[in-house]
Amino acid sequence: MTQMINLPLLPILIPLLSAVLLMFFPKRIKAQRVISMIGIAGTIIAAIVLAAEVKANGIQTVNLGSWPAPYGIPLVSDMLSVLLVLTSSILTFFVVWYAMIYMDESYERFFFYIGVMFLLTGINGAFTTGDIFNLFVFFEVFLIASYLLIVLGGKSGQLRESIKYLLINVISSALFVTAVAYLYSVVGTLNMADISQRIDELGSPGIITVIAIFFLIVFGLKGAIFPLYFWLPGSYSAPPIPILALFGALLTKVGVYSILRTYTLFFYQDQGYTHQILGVLALLSIVVGVIGAIAYRDVKTIIIYNIVIAVGVILYGVSAMTPAALEGAVFYLLHDMVIKAALFLLVGIMMAIAGASHLNKMGGMIRDYPRIGWTYLVAAFALAGIPPLSGFIGKLLIVQGGFEAGDMVGPIIILLSSLLVLYSAMKIFMNGFWGTPKEYHGAKAHLANRLWVPAAGLVLIAIAYGVGSEAVYPFIQMAVEPLIDPAIYIEAVLKE
Residues within the interface to other proteins (CB under 8 A): 2, 4-6, 9, 13, 16-17, 20-21, 23-24, 26, 62-66
CB 11, min distance to other proteins, A = 12
Residue with smaller CB distance to other proteins, 21 or 396: 21
Residue with smaller CB distance to other proteins, 155 or 438: 155
Residue with smaller CB distance to other proteins, 15 or 385: 15
CB 268, min distance to other proteins, A = 30
- Write the DSSP symbol of residue 2: -
CA 165 to centroid of chain Cα atoms:
17
CB 219, min distance to other proteins, A = 27
SS (HEC) of 293-335: HHHCCEHHHHHHHHHHHHHHHHHHHHHHCCHHHHHHHHHHHHH
CB 24, min distance to other proteins, A = 5
Q: Closest Cα to residue 451, out of 121, 200, 97?
A: 97
CB 23, min distance to other proteins, A = 4
Residue with smaller CB distance to other proteins, 24 or 156: 24
CB 58, min distance to other proteins, A = 18
- Strand, coil or helix: 74: strand
Query: Could you tell me what percentage of the chain is helix, strand and coil, using 3-state DSSP and rounding each to the nearest 5?
Result: 80, 5, 20
Taking residue 473's Cβ as centre, other Cβ atoms within 10 Å add up to 14
Rounded alpha-carbon distances, angstroms, from residue 3 to 60, 74, 256: 12, 18, 33
CB 233, min distance to other proteins, A = 32
Residue with smaller CB distance to other proteins, 144 or 277: 144
Angstrom distance (rounded) from CA 225 to CA 230: 9
CB 156, min distance to other proteins, A = 17
Q: Which residues contact 74 (CB under 8 A, 6 or more apart)?
A: 61, 62, 63, 64, 129, 130, 131, 191, 193, 493
Residue with smaller CB distance to other proteins, 5 or 163: 5
Residue with smaller CB distance to other proteins, 3 or 436: 3
Residue with smaller CB distance to other proteins, 5 or 167: 5
- Residue 167, classified by CB atoms within 10 Å of its CB into exposed (0-12), middle (13-18) or buried (19+), is exposed
- Residue 321, classified by CB atoms within 10 Å of its CB into exposed (0-12), middle (13-18) or buried (19+), is buried
Taking residue 148's Cβ as centre, other Cβ atoms within 10 Å add up to 18
Residue with smaller CB distance to other proteins, 22 or 461: 22
Q: Closest Cα to residue 92, out of 161, 27, 149?
A: 149
Evaluate whether 368 touches 350 at the Cβ level (below 8 Å).
no
